[in-house]
Structures are given as C-alpha cells and as structure tokens.
Amino acid sequence: MTKQEIFNSMNENPVFYLATQDGDQPRVRGMLLFRADENGIIFHTASTKDLYAQIMKNPKAELCFSCKGKQIRATGVLEQNDDPQLREEIFSHPTRKFLQAWKDNGIDKLMKVFIMKNATATTWTMETNFDPKVPIQL
C-alpha cells in the first residue's frame, strides 16, 4: 500500500484501537479518527479520561485500523495540538455534533487534540500473514 492508500483507508474506516501504557500494563480502547493525511493522524479525547493521563506520561502509542480485511497499524509519538483553528474545525464538523454540548456547557476546554506525525505503518492480511513486515513511513 502507498502512503496515500493508507490515509484513504483510515479515513474510510475511522474507528480504530489505540494502545497506550499505564505503568507496566498495556491499555487498548476504541477511538474515532478525526482525519488522517500528510499533517498526521488526528483524534481527540477529554482531559478527564485516563487515556489523556497515559498519553501525557508516555506519548508513544500504536493505532490499529481494521479496513475491509486489511489491518493497518501505525506506530509513533502523539503530540498534543492546541491550534484554535483545528479545534474549531473539529467542533463544527458534521461528524462531531456530539461535541456541541461541550461548547454549550462551557466545557470545550476539556477536549484535547492529538496528532501522530511521522508514524510508521505496517499492514497485514490473511494472505500476507507470514510475510516479513514492510514499514511504510507516513
């Protein structure tokens, strides 16, 4: 897969699993992608969640997308992004109507945006199960 094909697959299949570290215990949870492109893989969470504390303590993470029989894993470092333009884009996006209540109740500062830039991706299918992994720089 090319880098652009990976981004396209992520955007078409926006539910992914995020793995972080909590002390010596790995933690995995389902997440909703905002966007994946040349600028990075973007998602958000709330600062009140355990996930936020885990990322702040150790920003190394892995994302796993299931894309129509193909698995894409992206590994890298998460960076918090406070760009007001990006935040507003997220709040006003049609897929993020559920966040409007945060703005209406004055708790929009709880939303924290993360970007994984310069990730390395690997793909997996049943057909390539035993093939060597070929990392793709995103």
pLDDT score recorded for residue 110: 94
Query: Facing residues of 35 across strands?
Result: 42
Three-state secondary structure call for residue 131 = coil
Strand segments, DSSP code E, in 3-124 are: 15-22, 25-32, 35-37, 40-46, 60-67, 70-81, 111-124
Q: What percent of the chain has pLDDT over 70?
A: 100
pLDDT score recorded for residue 27: 96
Instruction: Express each pLDDT in 95-105 by its tens digit.
Output: 999 998 888 88
85: Cβ contacts below 8 Å, ≥ 6 apart: none
